[in-house]
A and B are shown apart, each in its own frame.
Chain A
Amino acid sequence: MKIEGKKRLWREYQKEIAEDHYYFARSCVRQQIFPGAEQICVKILQHDLGRDVFDDPGHTTCTGIGYHTDVVQLETIMTVVARQFSLMTNAGYENFAVSCITSFGIYTEILETWHHFPETEEKTREYLRKATGREFKIPVNLAHTSDIFYKFRHEIAQKSRYKLINHNTGEPLRVVEHIGCHYAKMFPHKGVGGAEYPYVLAGLAEALGGEIVDYPERRHCCGFGFRQYVVKANRGYSISASKIKLESMKPYKPDLIVTNCPGCTVFLDRWQYAISEMEGKTYGDNGQGIPVLTFEELTAVCLGYSPWEIGLQMHNVGPEPLLRKMGVPFDPSRKYLGAGGKNIGIPEKPKVLVVE
């Protein structure tokens, strides 16, 4: 195939991502498990990339987890989403930037439903009017924050102080990119590269100097799947799915895993600890695990933010081996010091997984 043809085909796999002025919709899960990631996302967009981001304290959860576990009805979630859009409309924004993959899937699904079944949109407008007296406009552009980082990846790479390159050997670091299922598996045309060639994280990691690892289970789900985890009896399914991925990537010796979904970040990270305690297996070098970072955390490390400021101490697998490979300086004594130097408490060491 000629290069021109390839370029033309690839254009069909792209999505439109707004240039500036985003209404930022936070994630309910991420603020609890990796609070630094979301905070640093806003900071990078506003300060490093100089974009206008409206971080609205008035919006709520999208109720996606309730929806996927069958406790929130479709009409209810549509009305909640309509309220988020009305907040965006009132704030004078047209571009909706979503921090969570579950929420991104929810917003996409609802916009598609309204598009194909306009009567459901009318009904939702009526519910919102009755409940709150609000009106809303449909966003002109809907993007996940990883889309925005992907769009500005070359600008980020230019500004980055550290690259995904082994500080000692000069070799590119081996990066496993894991994209949340609800990013492009439900509505492929809403994601960069679609469901077949999702490129949103690979593009960012490559721009930062990393080498992408293509392993057999690359597109396998992390196993979160809401009711697989929410119902304790089903957690065996969740951990087994993550184990399939970890076993599959281990022979390729990845230096890190980068994700864009809250669930994937938690489970690829936390299940490494659980597997080590249940079966005595670890997946990194010297009994350590493979560090799992969100795309914002990875970008922030490259831009020179302190690893403890962005909350890398909240991960089960320690980030220190990765930081050393990248040549990022860090003070181990400040790992568990929060804002203002206050001690946030040192967690108990795992029995098998080696954590510094």
Chain B
Amino acid sequence: MIEFGYSIQSNRQIDFDRNTRQVYKYIRRKEPSIDWCMSCGTCASGCTAGYASDFSLRRMILLARRGEEKEIRDGIFRCRLCGKCLNACPRGVNTRNIIYWMQQAVKNTQTL
């Protein structure tokens, strides 16, 4: 095998027949303001958990929209629900509520 100095990335296409987006649909029912999110990232810019780890609510919402639930499970509990993002959001999205319901969703998949 030859090392060319670059690598082949795995295919990251999202198959919506497989990714059912259950978490997103569940949160929408509980907190409809998730639909107002425009992925600007203001919530993530002032996030304490994001300062100490790679947590980003913007990324979490994006993953939920894409139905990438394994990644949500790996990251969502880094948030301590301090609510600073709530003050930062320019669209008035109830961000803390979204995180809370996201945590509930992945904790108890039967409720989805």
Contacts and interface: CB of A to CB of B under 8 A. Distances in A.
A240 interface: yes
Nearest to A279: B8
Given A277-B2, A278-B2, A239 B11 contact: no
Contacts of A237: 9
B14 interface: no
Contacts of B7: 236, 278
Interface in A286-309: none
Interface in B1-23: 1-2, 4-11, 13
Interface residues of A, number: 18
Contacts of B13: 244
Contacts of A239: 6, 8
A235 B6 contact: yes
Nearest to A234: B6
Contacts, number: 37
Interface in B71-86: none
B11 A278 contact: no
A55 B4 CA distance: 38
Interface in A223-270: 232-237, 239-240, 243-244, 247
B4 A235 contact: yes
Contacts of B10: 240
Q: Is the interface of A mostly helix, strand, loop or mixed?
A: helix
Nearest to B9: A240
Given A277-B1, A278-B1, A280-B1, A233 B8 contact: no
A250 B7 CA distance: 21
Contacts of B5: 232, 235
Contact of B11 (A234, A236, A244, A274): A244
B13 to A, nearest CB: 7
A235 B11 CA distance: 15
Interface string A174-202: 00000000000000000000000000000
Interface in A207-225: none
B54 to A, nearest CB: 21
Nearest to B12: A240
10 contacts: A233-B6, A235-B6, A236-B7, A240-B10, A240-B11, A244-B13, A275-B8, A277-B4, A278-B2, A280-B1
Interface of A: 232-237, 239-240, 243-244, 247, 274-275, 277-280, 351
Interface of B: 1-2, 4-11, 13
Q: Which 10 A-B pairs have the closest CB atoms?
A: A235-B6, A240-B9, A236-B6, A277-B2, A236-B7, A239-B8, A240-B8, A236-B9, A243-B8, A244-B11
